[in-house]
Amino acid sequence: MALEKYGFKCVMLKNFEKLKNTSGLYSMRLKGEVNLRILFCFFDFGYGEIALLLYPFQEKDNKKSNKDSYRTAIPIANSRKEDVGNRIK
């Protein structure tokens, strides 16, 4: 899988991006009959950085709907990231 192989450098690949104005959130796109996005982050659990998949959602075709999807998804992903961070401290 690209995340295991590339780590943070995955953003150089076509279907990955670092989300602007977020604290370490990334997005991967899975194209098929429906377009899916998975928001994720990287955590160091003591044995190296691993990708933590936080929240999947269906990407809409229309730009306004797509922005609304991200507006909903980012706070959920941030909350899950924070929860994991609190558990590993």
Range of 28's domain?
A: 2-88
With beta carbons less than 8 A apart as the criterion, state whether 13 and 3 touch.
Answer: no
Please name which of 39, 12, 13 lies closest in space to residue 24, comparing C-alpha atoms.
Answer: 39
Tokens of 64: 């306004």
DSSP labels for 23-83? Answer: SS-EEEEE-SSS-EEEEEEEEE-SSSEEEEEEEEEEPPSSHHHHHHHHHHHHHHHHHHHHH
* pTM of this structure: 0.85
**43-64: pLDDT as tens digits:** 887 777 889 999 999 887 666 6
**9-24: pLDDT as tens digits:** 888 899 999 999 998 9
Residue 17, classed as helix, strand or coil, is: strand
- Total domains in the chain come to 1
